[in-house]
Structure formats: C-alpha cells, structure tokens
C-alpha cells in the first residue's frame, strides 16, 4: 500500500472533478474492485490482500446494493486500505452498518474518510455558497445517498426525510 501522504495526494487529485470516480481512484491506489452478485443484503463489502500484488488489496462490493450505496462501500474499503492496511490481516468483511470486527473507532475513521473522499468539503462549501442547499440536489452532484449527505451537512435524519416529503 502507498504511504498515507501519497494516498491522500492521489485522493485529492481525483477530487478535482465531481462526482469522484471510486473505481478509478481505487485503481490508482493499487486496489482492484469487484462486484459480487448473490451476496446477502446485509453484507456491504470486503477487503483482502491481493496475492498477485505485494501490498495490494482487492475490494469486493455487493452488486445488489444501489449505485450510491456501492460507491460509499468502495470509499469505505479504500479508507481501510489507506488508514490502517496493517489491520486488514487476512481480510475484513463489512456488514450493512459497516461493522467488521474491527473496533468502532476504526470503523468510524473509515466512514469519516469515506465521506471526505466522496464529499470533499471545499466543493461542498462552494456549492452551498453558490446557493445550492437542497439535499437531493447536492447528493445527486456527489452521487451519494441523501442519507450520507444529510449526515455530512449535520442535518438530523428525520428532518431531511420530512423536508423531502413536504418539498
């Protein structure tokens, strides 16, 4: 795996254009991404060593999950590889709530970096400053779920839901 600073530089490069292309980003970090059909719905993703490529990892994502969900899963697995490759061991599997057996702290870190990858603060702030504040519009631009965008914007979930309902 690349060093943290190299990896972050590659991430920043990919963030110049929205929406962030998660599979391309993974590839540039030395990670391969595979979609897995027939996984149970409560499995989101998995990451494990790529035996053909020393230090490389393979990411697996539930093919049945919606597109924006798969993007978050790929970003979450990328985050595991970038932040703590030494914790991946023989592989980790994330369930629907991104719990893998690693500590909650480590999972929270991976979720935070995944959100940072998919919804870069600078671009988000720029759009908001230009007057785009609708969660549906913003989530569409970044190709994330409205739920992920609501969390990013610190909008309580039920507010986001009801706002959509009555919009």
In the complex, the residues that contact Zn ion under the rule CB under 5 A are 94, 98, 100, 107, 110
Distance CA 95, CA 101 (A): 10
Nearest to 48 by CA among 79, 14, 80, 88: 88
- Could you tell me the smallest distance in angstroms from the CB atom of residue 61 to Zn ion? 12
Q: Which is nearer to Zn ion, 57 or 98 (CB)?
A: 98
Q: Which is nearer to Zn ion, 107 or 143 (CB)?
A: 107
Q: Which residue lies nearest Zn ion, judged by its C-beta?
A: 94
Residue 101: which residues within 8 A CB-CB, separation 6 or more? Answer: 92, 93
Q: Which is nearer to Zn ion, 68 or 124 (CB)?
A: 68
Q: What is the DSSP string of 61-96?
A: EETTS-HHHHHHHHHHHHHHHHH-GGG-TT-EEEET
Kindly state the tokens that stand for 150.
Answer: 């609501």
The residues pairing with 49 across neighbouring beta strands, listed in sequence order, are: 57
- Could you tell me the smallest distance in angstroms from the CB atom of residue 107 to Zn ion? 5
The residues pairing with 93 across neighbouring beta strands, listed in sequence order, are: 46
Distance CA 5, CA 135 (A): 31
Q: Which is nearer to Zn ion, 8 or 106 (CB)?
A: 106
- Could you tell me the smallest distance in angstroms from the CB atom of residue 95 to Zn ion? 9
Q: Which is nearer to Zn ion, 81 or 119 (CB)?
A: 81
- Could you tell me the smallest distance in angstroms from the CB atom of residue 76 to Zn ion? 6
- Could you tell me the smallest distance in angstroms from the CB atom of residue 10 to Zn ion? 20
């Amino acid at each position: 795996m690349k060093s943290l600073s190299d990896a972050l530089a590659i991430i920043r490069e990919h963030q110049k254009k929205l929406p962030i292309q998660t599979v391309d980003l993974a590839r540039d970090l030395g990670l391969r991404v595979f979609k897995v059909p027939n996984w149970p719905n409560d499995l989101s993703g998995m990451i494990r060593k790529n035996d053909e490529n020393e230090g490389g990892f393979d990411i697996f994502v539930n093919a049945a999950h919606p597109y924006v969900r798969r993007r978050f899963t790929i970003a979450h697995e990328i985050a595991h590889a970038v932040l703590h490759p030494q914790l991946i061991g023989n592989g980790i599997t994330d369930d629907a709530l991104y719990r893998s057996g690693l500590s909650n702290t480590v999972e929270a870190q991976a979720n935070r970096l995944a959100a940072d990858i998919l919804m870069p603060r600078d671009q988000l702030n720029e759009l908001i400053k230009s007057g785009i504040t609708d969660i549906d519009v913003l989530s569409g631009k970044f190709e994330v779920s409205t739920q992920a965008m609501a969390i990013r914007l610190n909008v309580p979930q039920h507010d986001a839901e009801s706002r959509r309902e009555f919009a």
